[in-house]
Amino acid sequence: MPVKPSSRRAKSGGVFGQLRSKKKMFRAGLYARVSTNDQQTLPTQIRALREYAARRGWMMAIEAREVGSGAVGRKAREQVMEAARRREIDVVLVWRLDRWGRSVTDLLATLQELEHLGVGFVSLTEALDLTTPAGRAMAGLLAIFAEFEREILRERTRAGLAEARQNGKRLGRPETAGLHAAEIGKLFRAGVAKAAIARRLQIGRTSVRRILARPIAGRNMLGTKRANRSAGASPMPIPDPKLDQLLRTAIQQTKLLRLRYQDKDRIVEPHDYGQHNGVIKLLTRQIGGSSSGPLPNWRWMETGQISDAEMLDQTFPGGRPTPSGKHHNWDKLFIRVKPSKKKPN
């Protein structure tokens, strides 16, 4: 029986007649770093990285070397990350984890970004390969340690802030424009524009507007304290406790006062009570008693000259507009009567 000749057609290089796809060659980005110039491990790192890439059949697309502390900016590492963002490399190859990340948190952040970009990460010393399931599991453990490190830092920060508050230390940014609060108020009352105040004091216009928008007592009290402390001025006057309580109660309850001022008996409506130019004063509207002019009239009274003060049962409507229609600018306002709900006469 004749033997059938074999086919002369060349054998297929595929499986079951299907062509095999060519194996993709990974483009590797090599990164090596040493802390100081004294260390001679930089050539060793580069040699080991090149040999590993050759064994894996990877093409070296970029090679970055860096000498310096991990606490400062790493330009070479940023070049590798930029190459990964441009999809110029498929895997990052390093000698050791501490050569790449400043801390566990920093390491995890960069590894997560590489994962989102689809770029692998391999560390030779720790045998960490994020292109394998075991390497990705190790990355999950790193995430746990990173969260632990953040919690420790938060606890230390809270403890430090609490200790600083207990010692009376001021937290936050140091005051800059606030130091000029008294001068800002003085210039503004003199008719200087806000923009001119900012140029004269070399501060921002926003800071000037913010300081002028504060409550009168808060703004002037802050500025006066700072100014007196720097200029060595005399301390703030202390009001008489009994008279102080009486005046505050009368203003709060809108009760009339009978008092003696400058050797004259007067019946007044107490309106504003505070400190001005280092003197404690009371702004009153006199409605009865001795007066050198027609009543009612507005009068400033220095509390040091007030005597025989007593509160009457009669009330008055509340705050009334002064002849100028404006409130007085106090260095420190203690209390102000509430505005009247009735239309003033």
Helix (H) or strand (E) holding 251: helix 241-253
Q: Is 307 one of the catalytic residues?
A: no
Q: What is the DSSP letter of 118?
A: T
List Cα–Cα distances, 321 to 127, 250, 298, 327, 342, in angstroms. Answer: 82, 18, 10, 8, 12
Q: Give the C-alpha separation, 333 to 224, whole Å.
A: 12
Per-residue buried b or exposed e for 255-278, using 16+ beta carbons within 10 Å of the residue's own CB? bbbbbebeeeebbbbbbbbbbbee
Of 35, 103, 290, 340, the active-site residue reads: 35
Q: Give the C-alpha separation, 16 to 18, whole Å.
A: 6
Output the six-digit token pair for 174. 């140091």
Q: Nearest 5°: CA angle at 49, between 48 and 55?
A: 90
Q: Give the C-alpha separation, 148 to 189, whole Å.
A: 56
Active site residues: 35
